[in-house]
Amino acid sequence: MVKKLLFFDIDGTLYNTSVKVPESTKRAIESLKKDGHTLVIATGRAPFLFKDLREELGIESFIALNGQYAVVDGEVIYKNPIPSDLLEEISKDAKKHNHPVVYLNDTHMVSNIKGHSRINEGLGSLKFDQSPGHNENFHLENEVYQGLLFCTEDEEDYYKERYSELDFLRWHRVSLDVMPKGGSKAETVKKVIEKLGFNEDDVYAFGDGPNDYDMLKLVKHSVAMGNGVDETKSVAEYVTSHVDDDGLYHALKHYKLI
């Protein structure tokens, strides 16, 4: 059997709506590993926020922070920090409007405004087992690969118009991902494919959210979860069932990978 390279989103793909890995997915991942396929997690989460999942599934390669940080077999192969002066500018601007910012890198999650209700609402939806620390100067003292800007949809154009050097991607009613311009899961998927030397016919990607759109559009074999957004479904080669209905398992069966 020709070995395949598979990229998996976490939330809504590996994790179900209860933020658990379905038993069918666990069995499928074990089967893929046993057959010698290469598995890579591709997520918007920071590495320390899915360490338990990597250990649970035994997957050591990953793309984190929507493509800004990548590890293959334990080795960091790519980092794309946001310039600190740009973060300082948008942070000051956001604070004037009472819009908090959370800074993320590979080891930390730190806010510039402590205990803000929008941070609690947005991050609470992801059911993290930890809250962000607080340090207004974190971005001046550490590399930051992604920010979270907490504002509503009708407030976001203000930032998009003023900060053309950044990309903004909404993931929650009150929160946007803030990334370096052009940074995405897809761009880093390209780097991983090149690093590992796979042919395009042997690459698969699975996802559900807006941040999976470019990744699914890039690869030859793309799967959107039944619970995915319509835009992402529209570019997928195959749309499987809902994550809560063993969607990942059924997709892998469809492609005869398990």
Give CA–CA dist 29/34, Å, rounded: 9
The contacts found for 20-26 with CB under 8 angstroms, 24 or more apart, are: 21/53, 21/56, 21/57, 22/243, 22/244, 22/246, 22/248, 22/249, 24/246, 24/248, 24/249, 25/246, 25/248, 25/249, 26/56, 26/57
**pLDDT one digit per residue (tens) for the chain, 258 residues:** 899 999 999 999 999 999 999 999 999 999 999 999 999 999 999 999 999 999 999 999 999 999 999 999 999 999 999 999 999 999 999 999 999 999 999 999 999 999 898 998 888 887 777 789 999 999 999 999 999 999 999 999 999 999 999 999 998 999 999 999 999 999 999 999 999 999 999 999 999 999 999 999 999 999 999 999 999 999 999 999 999 999 999 999 999 999
CB 54, CB 64: distance < 8 Å: no
Say how many C-beta atoms besides its own lie within 10 A of residue 69's C-beta. Answer: 24
CB 172, CB 132: distance < 8 Å: no
Q: Which residues are catalytic?
A: 9
At the topology level, CATH places domain 5-79+183-254 in Rossmann fold (3.40.50)
CB 248, CB 255: distance < 8 Å: no
Q: According to the model, what pLDDT value does residue 121 have?
A: 87
pTM over 0.95: no
Q: According to the model, what pLDDT value does residue 151 have?
A: 96
Among the listed residues 134, 55, 56, the one whose alpha carbon sits nearest the alpha carbon of residue 101: 134
Instruction: Give how far Cα 93 sits from Cα of 119, 203, 230, Å.
Output: 17, 42, 33
CB 133, CB 108: distance < 8 Å: yes
What residue segments make up the domains of the chain, in order of their start? 5-79+183-254, 84-180
Q: According to the model, what pLDDT value does residue 122 have?
A: 86
Extract the tokens encoding 231: 């835009």
Residue 95 carries which side chain, given as an amino acid letter?
K
Extract the tokens encoding 148: 């979270």
Q: According to the model, what pLDDT value does residue 115 have?
A: 85
The CATH number assigned to the domain with range 84-180 reads: 3.30.1240.10
Q: According to the model, what pLDDT value does residue 123 have?
A: 86
The DSSP secondary-structure symbol of 47 reads G
Look at strands 38-42 and 61-64 and give their pairing.
parallel
Residue 76 exposed, middle or buried by CB count within 10 Å (0-12, 13-18, 19+): exposed
CB 201, CB 213: distance < 8 Å: no
Sign of the alpha-carbon torsion through 92, 82, 104, 99: positive
